[in-house]
Amino acid sequence: MTPDLSVSIGGLALRGPVLAASGTFGYGTEVPLLERGALGGMVSKGIFLRPRAGTPPPRIAETPSGMLNAIGLQGPGVEALVRDYAPQWARWDFPVLVNINGESAVEYGELAARLDGVPGVAGFEINISCPNVEQGGLYFGNDPRAAAAVTEAVRKRTRLPVWVKLTPMVSDIGIIARAVESAGADALCAVNTFVGMSIDLAAFQPRLSFRTGGLSGPAIRPLAVHLAHQAARAVRIPVIGIGGIARAEDALEFLVAGCSAVQVGTATFVNPRAIAEVHDGIAAFLRARGIASLGDLPRYLPRD
Amino acid sequence: MFLVDAAIAGRREVARGMFVLSMAAPEIAASVRSGQFVNLGWSGGPLLRRPFSVYRVDRDRIEVVLKAVGVGTTALLAMKDGDRLSCLGPLGHGFNLRAGPRHVVLVSGGLGVAPMPLAAREAAGLGMRITWVHGARSADELCSESEGDAIVWTTDDGSRGVKGSAVAAAPDADLVLACGPNPMLAAVAARWPDALVAVETYMGCGTGVCLGCAVPRAGGGYDRACKEGPVYRAADVDWTALPSHLAYAANA
């Protein structure tokens, strides 16, 4: 018997719980080796209203079981996204959410308004947690009022699902989670990268040109499981777990800890088939234990 | 693009500390073009794959050339015949050689030999006369393998061949292909704006999604070395914006 892996995230039906994380899957037109039937959905590379060049190299640095990145949200801007990518997404059999970014709540709202109703755009992931842009980004993510204001600005301009991607760089993720839930978010994504720094001892300077970068990969997994769990305890809306997932067991940790779905990111860089392997591994895990559907997976989620 | 579970099938030293590693990867061997690369990962290795130009193809095997410069290359050189590598490729845009030029000059510095043997074979197949100019710091760091109709060696210390840089020693030609440290490629761009150069950068995915391997364009903005590159028209790269302090740039 094949277990039922479908999930519903705030009204958005997904055929499986494994999504491609923003910034690790481009606009979905790369990664040719992946069996796409395993994709529950995809979150696009982060987009701003206008094109952005991104940060100078070096942009990435490997660290123990992880990587630091400071790409700086390089992207073509919303008009190019609407023209070049959305028409392709409209033909795909899985939903594409757009990761949206701005320097003010007004800009986030404008992006949502521009993309609302564009065929191929199934929803939004509000990025209030990018560590690699000078304005906005993290600022919105660690102030509950600013986080709520951005969420509200987007909520007012669209009926599509609105997810909010949280930063781990906060003292209490539950406070931010409740603030954006109250502001109308349909789901939370927890968590974005941790801010880190690495020094090149041959050059006596940081290894990244941006000085700091976002840490991802297996190195952050236990930290991310804890934060996703804390977020899930704090709210009633679904939480999508993110952070260092490379195998099915990693994803299952997030799911048991209270998440409804997961996103796979850095693992795709290493293994283009990672998403399919995680999806298939979850199915095998459930089958081996006689669990008929993902909804029947035992959860560890005491409520706050 | 293929993902091949490749067994290591031999290793030889071609200069002091510089090794050619051979692996069985039939699909890649059959389709790779000069200047393209493979991204290698292995069980128990570092998180990210490591990119290498394909050095040569021998039936169903491909070869790469490397020195131990960090944890990844050190681990690769400690592996034995029969050990498995996960080999992703061929990746990127190579030299895309076409018939036309009568005389091609290959200019390589240190590990910049990497794409040249394959380029030489393709050029020979297109009827070009080939001059290969290869430079290193000293005689023992010069690659012992070469191809082409004329070979020019250069060393910084004059211990073999012409004393001085490979760029200075190279003749003009209809077509110039170059690979080496960034400062060397900047000198190539100054002398031959239309030369085709293979750029080395740190790389994440190798498939175009992470945007980690940014190459600054002369006209502004960034390309991906793994997708639009790694081969560029020399004048199309903003050499002043490419980091020169990186380990590979300094020691290649």
Contact between A17 and A263 (Cβ < 8 Å) = no
Contact between B77 and B135 (Cβ < 8 Å) = no
pLDDT at A158 over 80: yes
Average pLDDT score over chain B = 94
pLDDT at B111 over 60: yes
Q: What is the model's pTM? A: 0.94
- CB distance B213–A57 less than 8 Å? yes
| Cα B185–chain centre separation | 12
Look at chain B and count its residues. 252
Whether residue B99 lies within 8 A of chain A, CB to CB, comes out as no
- How far apart are the C-alpha atoms of B236 and B218, rounded to whole Å? 5
Compute the Cα dihedral for B118, B119, B124, B126 and give only its sign. positive
Whether residue A35 lies within 8 A of chain B, CB to CB, comes out as no
Catalytic residues of A: 130
How high is the pLDDT of residue A137?
59
pLDDT at A135 over 90: no
How high is the pLDDT of residue A32?
83
Q: Which residues in B lie closer than 8 A to residue A58 (C-beta atoms)?
A: 201-202, 243, 246
* Mean pLDDT (whole number) for B117-124: 97
Report ipTM for this prediction: 0.93
How high is the pLDDT of residue B252?
31
- CB distance B205–A66 less than 8 Å? no
* Exposed/middle/buried for residue A51 (C-beta within 10 Å: 0-12, 13-18, 19+): middle
pLDDT tens column, A226-264: 999 999 999 999 999 999 999 999 999 999 999 999 999
Question: B54 vs chain A: nearest CA distance in angstroms?
Answer: 19
Select from A69, A268, A269 the residue whose CB has the most chain B CBs within 10 Å, as the one to mutate to test that interface. A269
**Percent composition of chain B: helix, strand, coil (DSSP 3-state, to 5):** 20, 35, 40
Q: Count chain A–chain B contacts defined by CB atoms under 8 A.
A: 102
* Exposed/middle/buried for residue B144 (C-beta within 10 Å: 0-12, 13-18, 19+): exposed
Q: Which residues in B lie closer than 8 A to residue A61 (C-beta atoms)?
A: 202
Judged by DSSP in three states, A33 sits in: coil
- Helix residue ranges, H only, A122-238: 138-141, 144-155, 173-182, 221-234
- CB distance A272–B221 less than 8 Å? no
pLDDT tens column, B190-207: 999 999 999 999 999 999
- CB distance B47–A32 less than 8 Å? no
Contact between A248 and A256 (Cβ < 8 Å) = no
What residues are paired with B39 via a beta bridge?
Answer: B51, B88
- CB distance A69–B208 less than 8 Å? no
How high is the pLDDT of residue B78?
95
CA atoms within 13 A on the CB side of B176: 27
Average pLDDT score over chain A = 94
- How far apart are the C-alpha atoms of A264 and B12, rounded to whole Å? 39
**Percent composition of chain A: helix, strand, coil (DSSP 3-state, to 5):** 35, 20, 45
How high is the pLDDT of residue A131?
66
Closest Cα to residue A168, out of A234, A236, A102, A225? A225
Tokens of A170: 């906060």
Question: A295 vs chain B: nearest CA distance in angstroms?
Answer: 32
CA atoms within 13 A on the CB side of A218: 14
- CA-derived radius of gyration, chain B: 17
Q: How far is CA B71 from CA A165, A275, B6, B7, B68, in A?
A: 34, 27, 20, 20, 8
pLDDT tens column, A165-211: 999 999 999 999 999 999 999 999 999 999 999 999 888 999 999 99
pLDDT tens column, B209-248: 999 999 999 999 999 999 999 999 999 999 998 876 554 4
Look at chain A and count its residues. 304
pLDDT at B251 over 50: no
Select from B199, B205, B226, B227 the residue whose CB has the most chain A CBs within 10 Å, as the one to mutate to test that interface. B205
- CB distance B209–A269 less than 8 Å? yes
Query: Phi, psi at residue B207, to the nearest 5°?
Result: -120, 5
The β-bridge relationship of strands A12-14 and A7-9 is antiparallel
Q: Which residues in B lie closer than 8 A to residue A23 (C-beta atoms)?
A: 210-211
For residue B172, count other CB atoms closer than 10 A to its CB.
9
Where residue A149 falls (left for φ over 0; alpha for ψ -120 to 50; beta otherwise) is alpha
